[in-house]
Amino acid sequence: MSNHGNVFSLIDTALAVDLVLYYFVYRIFKWLLSPYFFPRFPNIPGPQPQSWFKGNLGQLFNAKGLRFHQRLVDRFGGVVKIYGFFGDEQLYVSDPSALQSIVVKDQDAFEETAVFIDTNRIIFGPGLVSTTGDVHKKQRKIVAPVFSVPQLNKITPVVYDIAEKLADVLTREVHASRATTGSSVLDMSEWVSRVALETIGRTVLGYSFDPLDSPHNNPYTSAIKELIPTLFSLSILRQFAPFLSRLGPPWFRRKLVEWTPNRSIQKVKDMSDIMDRTARNILREKQVMMNDANTVYSQGEDKDIISVLLRANERAAVGEKLSESELTGQMTVLIFGAQDTTSSALSRILYLLATNPDIQTKVREEITTAFAGAKSLEYEAVSELPWLDAVIKETLRLYPPVPFVRRTAKNERTLMYSTTNSGVADASVVVPAGTTLFVGIAGANRLESVWGPDAKVWKPERWISGENPASIRLPGIYSGMLTFFGGGRSCIGYKFALIEMKIILATLVRRLKFSSTRDEIIWNLSQIISPSVRRPANDGSYIEEKGLPMTVEVIS
């Protein structure tokens, strides 16, 4: 009987294994075939998938993909069906009504994607960009006050000091270049990248990464600059981050990364280690200074944002305090998030001023009059310069440094949207839980229903004349555009970014004149947009190199 029992036991086990295998095979086939036999969005227009494996992801996450992103909106409208892996149906959304639900009204139902959260948690630790729900709200509550107007007033002298130093350095570079080459062409993308990092370092951390007047070789500087392009090159592989982040304990996952024979992955690991190590060292130095009775920090004279954050964290209730890992996460995120986006925006603004010399002249005249021989203005005064403000607003509207973000539907929701240029919602789509949505920031910022028939034209005067249509608005935190997003995931430091750009531009344009060269400038997508120069090669092809060459002249 025991032998028969063992046989039946083996049969039962085999049947159980078979049933489990059959179930998983069924689920896999259902997942693979459902887009073709049970489509989520049968009535939503969109392009055909480029690949059965990657769908449209190869077009969306492509250095030359900016035109594809805009074509989706122009050809198919405000709600577009696109494809992810194995035919997974996703949505590309730029319609104002639908965005109102995603960004504000139902924002808790449309969370950051697991790919975004898990990748950021691995790289930055538990900071603002790698947390969700109540944890994110707790962190935001602590961090938000450090970007208040009174605090920004305190740090504006530091920004002016750095901007003046950059103008001095560029003046010397112009004279040196003329003496050696006869021309004064400088790579302005390199210089605005350096000044953006130095400004963020000094004002946020109270730490100088790049003195500007000498070659920079800080490993942290290199890590910050290289991280975004490297991550973008891994966009397809990053889609598997949620799965990999759950494979065993942290030490095992780190070993997997170390064993992975991929150069880009190893670069990301090394850069993450450098940023974390630097942030922890700076944090400990700050804590020592704050506890030292002989320093101004101990008396509450905080001169940088992180010191203010540490002070606020000390006063917070026990359940609301940030841990050391959370604090270092905020430090790295604030530096990383602000440096690339600010340098991207400054590069584009200088390029547009160089190619529109009449607008540059108006901005310079306005600045010269306002400064009246002084080297700085108060926070409110520089904030209210109409032409400078208009140039920045229009550039951020038409050319947002981050052209799209993604969301995942946590719960089923119905989105209302418009199928006409009127902008009036006349259709709806049911979005099942688990659906990935691309939020088209650039596409929404260029809608004719919002900005008028010249929506795709760079026209700073629209902000001075007040001609923008007011009947339809985007749910953005800044000037009715989505550049800094909106809702609970809006850019927490956008006021800082604006005053930083205004001070740097006011200083540079007052002292220097920028003109375009004959070089062809290409704007590439690497999550954040950056410029490169396209030049003919000897074999008849073309080569591209990072950079934004401009002719720079000193105004006597």
Binding residues for heme: 491
Measured in degrees and rounded to the nearest 5, phi and psi for residue 373 equal 90, -15
Q: Coil, strand, or helix at residue 56?
A: coil
474 vs 423: CA distance, rounded Å: 11
Q: Which of 215, 441, 206, 428 is nearest to 310 (CA)?
A: 206
> How many Å apart are CA 124 and CA 335, to the nearest integer?
11
- How far is 164 from 179, CA to CA, in rounded Å? 23
User: Residue 310 CA to chain centroid, in angstroms?
Assistant: 25
SS3 of 312, please?
A: helix
- Scan for tokens 């007052």, then name that residue: 510
CA 532/CA 315 separation, integer angstroms: 47
Supply 297's token pair. Answer: 């920090």
Q: Output the known binding site.
A: 491
Strand partners, 89: 83
Q: What is the DSSP string of 466-492?
A: T-S--SS----SBTTBSTT--GGGS-T
Measuring CA to CA, which residue among 75, 29, 78 is closest to residue 48?
75
**Dihedral angle of Cα 19, 22, 28, 30, to the nearest 10 degrees:** -100
Question: Which DSSP category does 77 fall into?
Answer: -
Q: How far apart are CA 25 and CA 18, in angstroms?
A: 10
Interior/surface letters 178-194, b for 16+ CB within 10 angstroms, e for the rest: eeeeeebebbbbbbbbb
Distance CA 20, CA 115 (A): 28
CB atoms under 10 Å from CB of 109, counted, come to 17
| Beta bridge mates, 525 | 529
DSSP code at position 396: H
